[in-house]
Chains A and B, each alone.
Chain A
Amino acid sequence: MRRGLISWSKTELPEQVLDARVARVQAAMDLAGVDMLAVYTNPARESGVAWFTGFIPYWNQCVMLLPRTGRPVLVAGMTARVRDWIMRNAHIEDVVNTTKLGADAGRLIAERRSDAVVAIADLESVPTSVVAGIRPNASSVIDGSVLLERARTPCDPAELMFAFKAASIAHAALASAKSNEIDAARLVAAIDGTARQLGAEEVFVAVAPDLSASLRLFRLEGTTPLGSVFAARLSLAYKGTWVRMVRTFGRSATLARDIADTASAFAAAVAPLPRIDGLGRLTAFLVEGCRTTTPLEPLTGSMLDDTRAIAPGTVVSVQATIETNGRAILVGAPVLVGRNGEASSALVAPQFDHAG
């Protein structure tokens, strides 16, 4: 559950930006004959409601109701004691605090219109109790995922700014860790602490403590010795925008040079995105991004059977395994996908060691 900085900054995310997003979606609702859009949020699915309102739930769950005209209302599964905090940190008309999320969302929909067509973003993933509360109060319930996805593409300047900020925090946090570190707990502490000091909302650090034994990244508990070559993956959020970045650490100068060289190979591999032919030549790769409400949804990758579209003008996080001099090196960074033939490029280059 969230315990990093959560605070709506009207300088970074002006009300006009959020109003423009709402207006864009409401225009699409009008065209589609949708009376109400319901977007569910909890700490693992924060990206939809955060995009509309700036609101990020530090725990619990909420449903945002957006009518075809007017501002969103938040139905929150938190007691009234946090009402003021929510109103300070969300651009909404009102908040309704309740323990009966679905029932109260349904009641509010029916109060506005008795025969409403309700679209629910990511309908299949929303808790059954929420959908069960809405369904009897709507003339029909449809999946609103495509409507939301189209409205979010391409990223607007404010979303890009958050992605750049998240990427720069991730880079600084990974850069703060030392290649000569021998204990994984201290490595994680340095990365986690630095990211939060720089304003990260949430931080997950996974470590592959000895790449010569395994490339698998996982969350460590207790103390674990680090090998001569190891890697850390930092997943972090800044104001609802998530990125991942991966750094491989090597103790020797030769290793450091090999690791540094992967940055240019990574840049070349991601440049053709949304085409994946560059990445396809690497040992392994994964592309993740946010389409609707889930922050880092797998879109395509060497371990996935099918591919979801990578939209030009959006930010994706790319992880790759690159073989250099017979050694597997893990690398990753958020990438802005080019539009209209522009090359795609990392928001911050995954370069921490200098070649030569």
Chain B
Amino acid sequence: MLAEERRERLLAEMRREGLDAIVAYGTSWQEAYLRYVSDFGILEGDGIAILTSDGRCRLFVESVAEAERAQAEASGIETRLARDLSRAVNSELESISNQRLAAAPHALLPAGLIASERRFRLDDGTALLDRLLMEKMPNEIAVMRRAVALADEGYEFFRKAARPGRKQYEVVADVEAFLRQRGSPDNFMIIGSGNADVRGMAPPSERTLKPGDLVTTELTPAIEGYLAQICRTLVLGRANAAQRRAFAIWHEAMEAGITAIKPGVTAADVARAENDVFRRHGLGEYTTSKYTRVRGHGLGLSTDVKPSLLEDVDIVLRPGMTIIVHPNTYHPEAGYMVLGDVVAVTDTGCERMTRTPVELFEMPV
């Protein structure tokens, strides 16, 4: 089972680093560390798992609903309902305070757990878990492949659902229902529609889709906790010349980024390859944080695992990483435009996992 395989790998890393226990915190927007350790996908409140070197894993959650879910959904762990999470975890950690402990992500641990009077010390174990989250095992890649295939299917469904007259949130509701019917319990999705007035994607609003709109989406379904993303842009009707010109640049940038991916290069190298395309076309301004967050990012047990593709991120790419390359940003004539494919870093380069055609889709209206 994949959860056990992950836990064994983590235990081996703990032995290598001389750690007696790892403490993993999770909440719904930072779920990956907790999921890696406990196999529980948290939705409500906070959760903390303690994995000790003997392989015993204890999960503490604040919510009764989550405790009940964890007992049914996560294998090989002991679940405890702890309405006062800090106190319960403190008590557990004090019983092993003479051992070497590390926590991830350290910065998000509840303040009540890190109060100065505690008798235990928690080193920062974030880098250790980040490495495992980034560099996936073959069986993790296999699940990612299934998730990417579902993202392809999801986008095909989205293209049919995004019709003039429909509100953004109605389209997203249809996609969510489609993904649930396909057995996927989770998805992350944002959307944009309009033209040069649209500066980015956001959660769906009441805005009604209209002929001529550029419709952008980032769709990210989950399988067994692994999230795969696709970014595409469609036009409701025929694309105009400005939209076509802009898309050609996005396509060139994405291909430049994917071409740059191989073991040994840095995340910065990939971001630079994408951004250089924009700079060559006089659009360098639109590669800054005023217009875009990242030029792609890792995927796996979260929608946003490391590395972020940015020109100041020096993480070296290694085989087993799964990354979406998406030069998403604003274009002054066309508006916000997105395009992104998932790749897996291999021993010699990368494997493109996304199968959806790379095109600016024109939907008949």
Contact = CB atoms under 8 A, between A and B. Distances in A.
Given A79-B289, A189-B181, A128 B204 contact: no
Contact of A217 (B69, B111, B172, B178): B69
A233 interface: yes
A197 B170 contact: yes
Nearest to A193: B177
Interface in A110-129: 123-129
A217 B170 contact: no
A185 B109 contact: no
Contact of A222 (B114, B169, B183): B183
Interface stretch (A20-28, A53-61, A251-259): A53-61
B28 A3 contact: no
Interface stretch (B1-9, B43-51, B93-101, B353-361): B43-51
A127 B111 contact: yes
Contacts of A84: 199
A228 interface: no
A168 interface: no
A45 B27 CA distance: 9
A267 interface: no
Contacts of A219: 41, 43, 69, 73, 185
B203 A4 contact: yes
Given A85-B200, A124-B111, A128-B110, A189 B178 contact: yes
B44 A124 contact: no
Contact of B174 (A127, A193, A205, A286): A193
B291 interface: yes
A2 B203 contact: yes
Contacts of A59: 29, 188, 303
A221 B184 contact: yes
B63 A185 contact: no
Interface string A281-324: 00000101000001111100101100000000000000000000
Given A206-B65, A235-B65, A298-B63, A185 B27 contact: no
A125 B46 contact: yes
B143 to A, nearest CB: 11
A220 to B, nearest CB: 7
B64 A286 contact: yes
A6 B45 contact: no
B127 interface: no
A193 B110 contact: no
A199 to B, nearest CB: 7
Nearest to B87: A124
B322 interface: no
Contact of A80 (B65, B68, B188, B290): B290
Nearest to A129: B107
A303 B64 contact: yes
Contact of B110 (A125, A185, A244): A125
Interface stretch (B78-86, B255-263, B339-347): B78-86
Interface of B: 27-29, 41-46, 62-65, 68-69, 71-73, 81, 83-86, 106-114, 169-170, 172-174, 176-178, 180-185, 187-190, 199-200, 202-206, 223-224, 289-293, 303
10 closest residue pairs by CB, A with B: A193-B177, A124-B112, A196-B173, A218-B72, A129-B107, A189-B180, A189-B181, A5-B169, A6-B203, A222-B183
